[in-house]
Amino acid sequence: MNVDAAIQALVDAGVEFVIIGGWSAILHGSRYGTSALDICYARNSENSRRLVRALAPYHPRLRGLPKGLPFIWAQATLRDGTIIRLDTDLGKIDLLAEVAGLGTFDEMTAGSIVTEAFGRQVRTLDLKSLIKAKRAAGRDKDLMVLPELESLLEAEEP
């Protein structure tokens, strides 16, 4: 996963997004690795256009789509679902229009923070929101990281 290049492409294209999931946990100090970059993006027409343009050079395809089946990367692709899981030349990128427990991009910006990382200023979930999202997702891999995140939260409390 070339996460630096992926983040830089998104930021430089002016895409409005929040880093969620494993990479958000890593920014907060988690030691768990992750295979995909998960982002929640603003689902308006202009932002969708920017997102499509930003990722187009990296040949996105729906993950799991059999080889040979045609796939067109376009704004219409984003309209087809709230979670789009992509394989790209940069690695796996998951695009979410909504996050369980937190809502849409607009609803989650209050629970997010801006930080310097990946060579850019990026927005990611704050630790409390990340814990809430992980708990709401409820998969084994989400629940497994909770003790670590809750420890970080408790350690950093004033």
Q: Is 28 in the site for another protein (CB under 8 A)?
A: yes
- Angle CA 75–36–76, to nearest 5: 10
Gap between the Cα atoms of 121 and 115, Å rounded: 6
**Burial class of residue 70 in the structure, from the number of CB atoms within 10 Å of its CB (0-12 exposed, 13-18 middle, 19+ buried):** exposed
Both structure tokens of 48: 């969708």
Question: Is the Cβ of residue 32 or residue 71 nearer to another protein in the bound state?
Answer: 32
Gap between the Cα atoms of 10 and 122, Å rounded: 10
Q: Is 116 in the site for another protein (CB under 8 A)?
A: yes
User: Near another protein by CB under 8 A, which window of 10-18, 56-64, 68-76, 142-150?
Assistant: 142-150
Q: Is 11 in the site for another protein (CB under 8 A)?
A: no
- CB of 135: closest distance to another protein in angstroms? 13
- How many residues bind another protein, per CB under 8 A? 29
- CB of 70: closest distance to another protein in angstroms? 27
Both structure tokens of 38: 């998960």
Residues that bind another protein (CB under 8 A): 1-4, 23, 26-31, 33, 113-118, 124, 126, 147-148, 150-156
